[in-house]
Chain A
Amino acid sequence: MKLFVGEGNPHSVKVLAVLELTGVKCDVQLVNNEERVVPYLTRPVLPVLLLPSGQHLFSPNTICQYLFDVSGRKATDATNQWMEWEITDLQPAVLQALHMMALQGKRSEAAAVMKEPLSHLEQNLRKSSTQFLTSDAITIADIVLWAALYPILSDSSFEAGDLRFVRGWFDGVDVQSACQTAAQKVLHGKSSEALKTFLQKHPATQTQRRDCPTNTSAAEAEDTERVMSELEIEEAAQMWSTGLKYSHAVPQRNHPILPQEGRRNVLVTSALPYVNNVPHLGNIIGCVLSADVFARYGRLRGWNLLYVCGTDEYGTATENKAREEGLTPREICDKYYAIHASIYKWFQIDFDFFGRTTTDRQTEIAQDIFWRLHERGFLLEETVEQLRCESCQRFLADRFVEGVCPHCCYPEARGDQCDKCGRLINAVDLRNPQCKVCKQTPVIRSSKHLFLDLPKLEGELEKWLDQSMGAGDWTTNARQITRSWLRDGLKPRCITRDLKWGTPVPHPDYKEKVFYVWFDAPIGYLSITANYTDQWEKWWKNPQQVELYNFMAKDNVPFHSVVFPCSLLGAQDNYTIVNNLIATEYLNYEDTKFSKSRGVGVFGDMAKDTGIPSDVWRFYLLYVRPEAQDSAFSWSDMALKNNSELLNNLGNFINRAAMFVTKFFEGRVPEMLLNDDDKRLIAMVSWELKQYIQLLDKVRIRDALKCILNISRHGNQYIQLNEPWKKIKGGDMDKQRASTVTGVSVNVACLLSALLEPYMPTVSQTIRTQLQAPPNCTGAMIQGAGTFICTLPAGHRIGTVSPLFQKLENEQIEGFRKQFGGQQTQIPSTASADTKLCAGVELNSTVNVKADPERARRLAEQVTEQADKVRALKAQKAEKSVIGEEVAKLLELKKQLALAEGKNQEPSNHKAKKK
């Protein structure tokens, strides 16, 4: 049993006090208040009690009740009633009052809020004949209410009025040593002061208790309430004025990058994309893009960082794809490797090295690890029965056998499952099995396989995980998935396969076999690094100096947290094992799944064809990065975010600031004489900068992006309030204001260019060129905890200013939505009915033509062009007949496109006809 509590979290006081009082044995772990311990709750909630069965108790009162229950004390109607009152009446009032006291300094208002619940309590205690709430002995109700009231009543400045009975009762509970210990542990005896951080995350506006929203989605509104202290403002203004003194140039990257003594050596990997498919946006945000932002950020921070990735190329899927396309597996890999590499290049993924797994180094390293595991007795041998097709000369993967279902006699059951009755099948149990490729009857052969003895490595793994999770950053889902694997107990896992396309097993008894991909693929990180530098072991056999970050989507977690670490631990060769595991949730497409087969979604190679810049794609994907929960890509939302955040907020601010310098001050940054307003803005911006760094250090990529947008939002408000364009025409005082506001603003713009680098590298560079920013400014501001300094001093000359972003029009977006919306394969009858509606459609459109991606790409371009033409004609109010002709052409192109994409006629055609 394990209890998770949070620092400064008032609900934790309750449960700790009850734990002390009942003496129930239980581990207590202090965790960050932001941590999501309970997987199914949307927001982080503490305290949480993890029961031996794996169930979570997340309600503080229930945890207390449970602890009382197991120590043999039962609840009564009377205690129940007080506990319910505490939840529905007392807690909301307490939360509201604490906000007023600790954050807003409104003590009298706080007293007013507490008046009703406190007098209810007073009256009940006055009438009661018992020493405590419900009896002469202390009960659960006393502890729960005491703990709820503790932060308020232990604050001597709280004016409670005359509460003789409440005071008497409270002091009676308060002297209990269990209560004293608990309060000390969580709040360090400082009551409302210690609660500040907790309260900032828990708004009191709703009639709810602990788990009020932490504003995950509405970060925009969160910061406006922040009140800066005089001291903070003064400090920030002073830091700003020191200017760029020291050289903080970001060190040049010299390949090969190797770990260095005395520097922070960070090794970043992103999950290796599987070679036989074009990655979709969900794949891109899940691994390579997230890792890229972090790697770019790390380089700006001056870490000695290496980012490697590559394509995962071995396995059945590749063999199948090769058969489909009539190529060899090698040719397939070469073809798709090039596609992957070019997509990532377009997305500006700045790998230090992008390799592949089908190399000699892979064979060498995988076989070495294999032998070491073998010598140390971590491999088991077992015989497995399998179907083998004699005419194809190979063992058949489950998906390659068809036969009669042994349960329902459905004639086309697959080797793993029957489509009719849905039951799972062992391929060897199929009646009349057939090889799907040659239709011959396969025979049952037993085949020996090797298994990695995970149960034997479990103890060592757990030791490693405790250490790694304790010290490093593991996303909550990564912790959760790993824990659940361990909880269910590890089983031996087969590491060999009867295939040809793979790393050969070097053992003489297994000559015909290769390694199973899950064993082989993660070794790719090592071999890819080895292809980058011969000194790869300095990264991979150096856990003392190297910090390893693995990026992936959540489905990949067990392989990186359990299986691969076991291979490395068992090999006993001082390997570098994951210290930080960053897993995203899933990105959906317009609320459905991305699906290659149905043509639904945006795939890496198509993003470019939209004409939307790579930076904007990066921005939106990172903006909706599925950080703590699944999220969805939506076209209209993308347009909205582009137009509201990039164009109207960020772009607008930077452009205005720079334009003022150009227009009013002949391109030179004017003199700045800071008054209180300016200093407050500088302090706000500094605070956001510090947040940005704290968040990115913890790989909270999406949250840190919000800080950037907050800064430009503050900047826009600042300009709006001070109206430099008016003041420039005023008297001397006004002119001076215009000059200061412009100078400060353009410096904020310069800071933004630095913060944008990891997210939108091209835009960042464009801003710096426009501002002629000194090259070392980025490094200087992103060092340490982050300092906002005046990097463009008075007199600095800026370059030519131009707008950074373009509006995304509704029509354009609707077009994309249709183009990428895909369609489920329609049954032929409806398809032909559809096509009858459109005149002049070629006959073959009723038939599903095989997809031709190359032709589709060309046609998509033509469709876009033609659509632009039609739009232009309409805008010019051209003659109807002319427009009609062009529209007809457009429809024809669209139809061909649909065919080339292997889809049936789009229903949008009848809509177009009705116009």
Chain B
Amino acid sequence: MALRELSSLEKCLGLKKPNKYSTQGERKVPVLQNNNGAVLVGLVTIASHLVHEAKKTELLGNSAEERALVQQWLEYRIARVDNCPKDELKVILKELNHYLEDKVYIAGNVFTLADILMYYGIHHIVVELAIQEKERYLNVTRWFDHIQHYPGVRHNLPPVVVLRNRVYPSGHH
């Protein structure tokens, strides 16, 4: 799972030479074997490293504040979204929905690594949502649809259909 995600990320970043990965432990934490022998462990660590390698550091944020926001939501992804118990899913969707209310991208107005990894991480959840639920988490859906159409991001993941017209009357204030 995490390995496929990293290889999608490499392509998205335009890295020509694919890296070699393995996993360790029960949770299958990704490991990157570097050319010079050094080893990197952990999804976020490796992803940030790849962004540097591709010389696209703007994807990590342009200011200290943006960098912090990107970091924060990457952490949210690995700490909250990954291995999320079922009854916790709604809480996550609700929080994201609330957070995204006034934002285009996760870090505000610019597309960053946080959007890419959150999209990968949340895809299996959004795929399962009924239309009604997608309408309930309208901001998440809007953001999700935006990211899956962002050039080069979606890759091998199946597209999720998002209806433009509301089917159900507004379920929220």
The interface bits of chain B over 44-68 (1 if a CB of A lies within 8 angstroms of the residue's CB, else 0) are: 1100110000000000000011011
Residue B85, interface by CB 8 Å: yes
Query: Hey, which chain A residues are within 8 Å of B48, CB to CB?
Result: 75, 77, 80
CB <8 Å contact, B49 and A57: no
Query: Hey, which chain B residues are within 8 Å of A209, CB to CB?
Result: 79
- Chain A residue with the shortest CB-CB distance to B38: A77
Given contacts A42-B95, A55-B69, A88-B79, contact A77 B171 (CB under 8 A): no
CB <8 Å contact, A62 and B94: no
CB <8 Å contact, A39 and B98: yes
Rounded to whole Å, the gap between the CB of B65 and the closest CB of chain A is 6
CB <8 Å contact, B72 and A84: no
Which residues of A (76-132) have their CB < 8 Å from a CB of B?
A: 77, 80-81, 84-85, 87-88
CB <8 Å contact, A69 and B172: no
CB <8 Å contact, B64 and A66: yes
Given contacts A40-B98, A62-B68, contact A84 B44 (CB under 8 A): yes
CB <8 Å contact, B65 and A55: yes
CB <8 Å contact, B49 and A77: yes
Rounded to whole Å, the gap between the CB of B131 and the closest CB of chain A is 15
Residue A58, interface by CB 8 Å: yes
Query: Hey, which chain B residues are within 8 Å of A84, CB to CB?
Result: 41-45, 78
CB <8 Å contact, A591 and B68: no
Given contacts A40-B99, A85-B42, contact A51 B65 (CB under 8 A): yes
Please report the C-alpha to C-alpha distance between residue A575 and residue B170 in the assembled complex, in whole angstroms.
Answer: 42
The interface bits of chain B over 66-89 (1 if a CB of A lies within 8 angstroms of the residue's CB, else 0) are: 011101100110111001010010
CB <8 Å contact, B42 and A88: yes
Residue A29, interface by CB 8 Å: no
Residue B129, interface by CB 8 Å: no
Query: Hey, which chain B residues are within 8 Å of A588, CB to CB?
Result: 171-173
Residue A32, interface by CB 8 Å: no
Rounded to whole Å, the gap between the CB of B137 and the closest CB of chain A is 13
- Chain A residue with the shortest CB-CB distance to B100: A40
Rounded to whole Å, the gap between the CB of B100 and the closest CB of chain A is 9
- Chain B residue with the shortest CB-CB distance to A207: B83
Given contacts A62-B68, A66-B64, contact A81 B95 (CB under 8 A): no
Residue A65, interface by CB 8 Å: yes
Residue pairs across A and B with CB atoms within 8 Å: the count is 95
Which residues of A (19-58) have their CB < 8 Å from a CB of B?
A: 39-42, 51, 53, 55, 57-58
- Chain B residue with the shortest CB-CB distance to A591: B171
Residue A432, interface by CB 8 Å: no
Rounded to whole Å, the gap between the CB of B82 and the closest CB of chain A is 8
CB <8 Å contact, A42 and B83: no
- Chain B residue with the shortest CB-CB distance to A632: B171
Query: Hey, which chain A residues are within 8 Å of B173, CB to CB?
Result: 586, 588, 593, 630
Query: Hey, which chain A residues are within 8 Å of B161, CB to CB?
Result: none
CB <8 Å contact, A57 and B68: yes
Given contacts A70-B64, A87-B79, A591-B171, contact A62 B99 (CB under 8 A): no
CB <8 Å contact, A81 and B41: yes
- Chain B residue with the shortest CB-CB distance to A218: B87
CB <8 Å contact, B68 and A61: no
Please report the C-alpha to C-alpha distance between residue A593 and residue B136 in the assembled complex, in whole angstroms.
Answer: 13
Please report the C-alpha to C-alpha distance between residue A591 and residue B170 in the assembled complex, in whole angstroms.
Answer: 10
Query: Hey, which chain A residues are within 8 Å of B76, CB to CB?
Result: 59
Residue B27, interface by CB 8 Å: yes
CB <8 Å contact, A80 and B45: yes
Residue A824, interface by CB 8 Å: yes
Residue B127, interface by CB 8 Å: no
CB <8 Å contact, B68 and A66: yes
CB <8 Å contact, B67 and A66: yes
- Could you say which interface size class chain A belongs to? 35 or more
Residue B40, interface by CB 8 Å: yes
Residue A592, interface by CB 8 Å: yes
Query: Hey, which chain B residues are within 8 Å of A65, CB to CB?
Result: 67-68, 71
Residue B91, interface by CB 8 Å: yes
Please report the C-alpha to C-alpha distance between residue A62 and residue B75 in the assembled complex, in whole angstroms.
Answer: 8
Please report the C-alpha to C-alpha distance between residue A70 and residue B66 in the assembled complex, in whole angstroms.
Answer: 12
Query: Hey, which chain B residues are within 8 Å of A783, CB to CB?
Result: none
Residue B151, interface by CB 8 Å: no
CB <8 Å contact, B72 and A81: no
The interface centre, meaning the residue of B49, B69, B75 with most chain A CB atoms within 10 A of its CB, is B75
- Chain B residue with the shortest CB-CB distance to A66: B68
Residue A208, interface by CB 8 Å: yes
Query: Hey, which chain B residues are within 8 Å of A66, CB to CB?
Result: 64-65, 67-68, 71
Residue A206, interface by CB 8 Å: yes
Question: Per a CB cutoff under 8 Å, which of B42, B75, B94 touches A59?
Answer: B75
Given contacts A42-B95, A630-B173, contact A69 B41 (CB under 8 A): no
Query: Hey, which chain A residues are within 8 Å of B69, CB to CB?
Result: 55, 57
CB <8 Å contact, B94 and A81: no
CB <8 Å contact, B44 and A85: no
Please report the C-alpha to C-alpha distance between residue A69 and residue B171 in the assembled complex, in whole angstroms.
Answer: 42
Query: Hey, which chain B residues are within 8 Å of A57, CB to CB?
Result: 68-69, 72
Please report the C-alpha to C-alpha distance between residue A66 and residue B66 in the assembled complex, in whole angstroms.
Answer: 9
Rounded to whole Å, the gap between the CB of A70 and the closest CB of chain B is 5
Query: Hey, which chain A residues are within 8 Å of B64, CB to CB?
Result: 66, 69-70
The interface centre, meaning the residue of B79, B85, B99, B170 with most chain A CB atoms within 10 A of its CB, is B79
Please report the C-alpha to C-alpha distance between residue A591 and residue B67 in the assembled complex, in whole angstroms.
Answer: 38
The interface bits of chain B over 106-149 (1 if a CB of A lies within 8 angstroms of the residue's CB, else 0) are: 00100000000000000000000000000000000000000000
Rounded to whole Å, the gap between the CB of A698 and the closest CB of chain B is 24
- Chain B residue with the shortest CB-CB distance to A58: B72
- Chain B residue with the shortest CB-CB distance to A53: B65
Query: Hey, which chain A residues are within 8 Å of B94, CB to CB?
Result: 42
Please report the C-alpha to C-alpha distance between residue A220 and residue B85 in the assembled complex, in whole angstroms.
Answer: 20
The interface bits of chain A over 196-234 (1 if a CB of B lies within 8 angstroms of the residue's CB, else 0) are: 000000000011110101000000000000000000000
- Between A and B, 24 residue pairs with Cβ closer than 8 Å are A41-B95, A51-B65, A51-B68, A55-B108, A57-B69, A57-B72, A58-B72, A59-B72, A59-B79, A65-B71, A66-B64, A69-B67, A75-B48, A77-B45, A81-B41, A84-B43, A84-B44, A84-B45, A85-B42, A88-B27, A588-B171, A588-B173, A593-B173, A630-B172
Given A55-B69, A88-B29; 17 other pairs, CB 8 A cutoff? A40-B98, A40-B99, A40-B101, A41-B95, A42-B91, A59-B76, A59-B79, A69-B67, A69-B68, A70-B64, A77-B49, A85-B42, A87-B79, A211-B80, A588-B171, A588-B172, A593-B173
Closest 4 CB pairs of A and B: A40-B98, A84-B42, A66-B68, A62-B72
